[in-house]
Chains A and B, each alone.
Chain A
Amino acid sequence: MRLVLTKREDASPWMSLVSPLVAVALTLVSGAVMFVLLGLDPIKALGIYFISPISDVWALQELAVKATPLVLISVGLSLCYLSNNWNIGAEGQFVMGAIFGGAVAIATHGVANGPWVFPAMMLAGMVGGALLALVPALLKTRFSANEILTSLMLVYVAELLLDWLVRGPWRDPQGFNFPQSVMFEPEAQALRLMADGRVNIGSLIAVVVVILGAILLGRTLKGFEIRLVGEAPRAARFAGFSEKRMTWTVFAISGALAGLAGIIEVAGTMGQLQPSISPGYGFTAIIVAFLGRLNPVGCLIAGLFLAVTFIGGENAQISLRLPLDVTRVFQGMLLFYVLACDAFLTYRIRLVRGEGAAA
């Protein structure tokens, strides 16, 4: 028996909506199997993972807070992946955004400042993320060095830089030697949308970014350029589009968005810099981008879903004593299924019995 793949002539738009849902369903089934293997009641465990995070208003706010960085980063990554630029170092760009934005907060700490501080931090964060992202872009366009490896290596470098800063020059002198910076001034923290809530202005910014991203990709010549460069590079050259310029553009945009996510996370939920500021948002956003079919609106939905797994993982750690790694297992499986379901969009797949030319 073997699988036979034949190319579809025209994929129906209906199927491209269904395929991510099928992937999610398959992930839930596999998750149930895994819980049984771990000796847990699968219904209860899945409930903690996927229902408890959306069961009350407080939980929903938490969901928005966790989804914000995922959505911001994944919109940028979608532009990269559509144009065939494999930026997998968003985690590092996220950290660099937090460092640059945090520098503004620390520099203005305790001195007279005003409402311009947080916008300035966001700007600095975007610059920081973009600068780090432009390193792989430079190395790719100038030396053809593989951007997958270079962008990933810079994640470790950025994390170590943050670690050094908060243990060294930026450590809070009154912080009882804890490795963390001073608490940011109120002006240097993200505006809360509700007086006693956790949701901050970052979530609103993420929605705006999704809308802008959707317009860019769906309506403008630039969006067409991004898609054409990724789909058929020679045809893009024939259209007069430059592949190298595109690499610079998408790395800058995605780096800036990851950096923005980083400073919003720090200024919105932590209020200070710490040695570790991300539970892996930059890597999870890769899955968000694919689950969202590299479409900004899709990223918004997929980002909310992946945020559920983060919160579910935290809840399960408390109530089931499961390691947080279970969340990663879910995320990895989800990406497997998304990729597998995508194959059904491009190919008609048949199981053929009997022999034939081995291939």
Chain B
Amino acid sequence: MTMFEAILLTIITASTPLLIAAVGQLVVERSGVLNLGMEGMMIMGAACGFAVAILTGNSAIGIVAAIIAGMAMSLIFAALTLGLAANQVASGLALSIFGLGLSGVIGAPFVGAKRDAMPRLDLPVLSDLPIIGKALFGQDPYVYASFALTFGVWWFLFRTRPGLVLRACGESHASAHALGYPVLKIRLLAILFGGGCAGLAGSYLSLVYTPFWSPGMTAGRGWIALAIVVFASWLPWRAMAGAYLFGGITILQLHAQGAGVRIPSQLMAALPYLVTIIALVIIMSRRTGQQTAPASLGTPFVPDR
């Protein structure tokens, strides 16, 4: 494997959890809901996925557990924001704090446990392609899943009728309600989907990326996924570009440290966060004219009856 292949491979590995989480959150925000609990849902996915994989000795069951954990977390958020019309920002923050704590409690017995990383799935023929073959087609199943997810979400949002209805709820819940669409039910499904994606993304960290459990291992990736959605102007393919940009920065930073670049390691470690801020500023200042954020984003909906 060449140096280039190795770097490409690690970039893909770093970007995949960001992409999965961001695409899930994109669907949630398209329905008009801002769930800031990404970090909490993701780390719960990481903890539960790892714990169940160790207990059952089966990574697949671990992944399912992670998805369920993410969805269960998102259900708390849905109960507060949809059922009780609570403030979405505060509810999301509460979810993040709660998730960071609970994952620590659940994961405590598993600190130090080890599990082999999931095997890679070589796609025959394609993985023999020169240069990019190994990197693109010799990956773990998550990577293929993340591509499929991005395509699926794009197709769903912009090519299907339920997707149109979901976007309509995000644009104007009052109009969607007036036409008879069950706004809260649609948003509930979107929130659950986002929770499942966050859980899946979290399990990638503890089952493939590291692969072991350590408290707080998401290290702000949930928040970066939120930033990617803004950066992507709520479009799936741009979310992919955003995820790979941030994944690439994370990896380059690691390689630069490994190569002995004489810059404080802390500065390099701060790079992804600084780039997030800069990217937000650039994307916001270049965005003129037409609005791109769903118009109802973050506003609670209470039908009158």
Contacts and interface: CB of A to CB of B under 8 A. Distances in A.
Contact of B266 (A5, A164, A322): A164
Interface residues of A, number: 55
B86 to A, nearest CB: 4
A146 interface: yes
B100 to A, nearest CB: 6
Given A323-B108, A335-B97, A146 B230 contact: yes
A346 B103 CA distance: 32
B132 interface: no
A145 B280 contact: yes
A152 interface: yes
Contacts of A283: 97
Interface string B255-294: 0000000001011011001101100110011000000000
Contacts, number: 160
A161 B223 CA distance: 20
B101 A327 contact: yes
Nearest to B34: A148
A160 to B, nearest CB: 4
Contacts of B237: none
A145 B282 CA distance: 9
B103 A157 contact: no
Contact of A349 (B84, B230, B305): B84
A326 B280 contact: no
Contact of A86 (B89, B182, B277, B305): B89
B98 A336 contact: yes
Contacts of B177: 359
Given A326-B101, A327-B101, A332-B97, A153 B223 contact: yes
B249 to A, nearest CB: 13
Contacts of B303: 357, 359
A269 interface: no
B94 interface: yes
Interface string A311-354: 00000000000111111111111011001101100110100000
B86 A343 contact: yes
B161 interface: no
A358 interface: yes
Interface in B170-194: 177, 180, 182-185
Interface residues of B, number: 55
Contacts of A150: 277, 280
B14 interface: no
A221 B206 CA distance: 53
B93 A335 contact: yes
A183 B249 CA distance: 38
Nearest to B97: A332
B215 interface: yes
B191 to A, nearest CB: 15
Interface in B77-111: 80, 83-87, 89-91, 93-95, 97-105, 108
A45 to B, nearest CB: 13
B255 to A, nearest CB: 18
Contacts of B280: 139, 143, 145-146, 149-150
A332 B98 contact: yes
Contact of B89 (A148, A322, A323, A331): A148
Given A144-B284, A328-B101, A358 B84 contact: no
Contacts of B184: 359
B202 to A, nearest CB: 16
Contacts of B264: 164, 168
A329 B269 CA distance: 28
Given A149-B280, A331-B97, A342 B104 contact: no
Contact of B182 (A152, A286, A329, A358): A358
B239 interface: no
8 contacts: A143-B281, A149-B227, A150-B280, A154-B273, A328-B100, A339-B87, A356-B305, A359-B184
Interface of A: 3-7, 38, 86, 88, 139, 143-146, 148-150, 152-154, 156-157, 160-161, 163-164, 168, 283, 286-287, 290, 322-333, 335-336, 339-340, 342-343, 346-347, 349, 356-359
Given A325-B215, A335-B90, A339-B91, 13 more contacts: A153-B227, A153-B273, A157-B274, A160-B267, A161-B270, A323-B215, A327-B101, A332-B97, A335-B93, A336-B91, A336-B98, A339-B87, A359-B183
Interface of B: 36, 40, 76, 80, 83-87, 89-91, 93-95, 97-105, 108, 177, 180, 182-185, 215, 219-220, 223, 226-227, 230, 264, 266-267, 269-270, 273-274, 276-277, 280-281, 284-285, 302-305
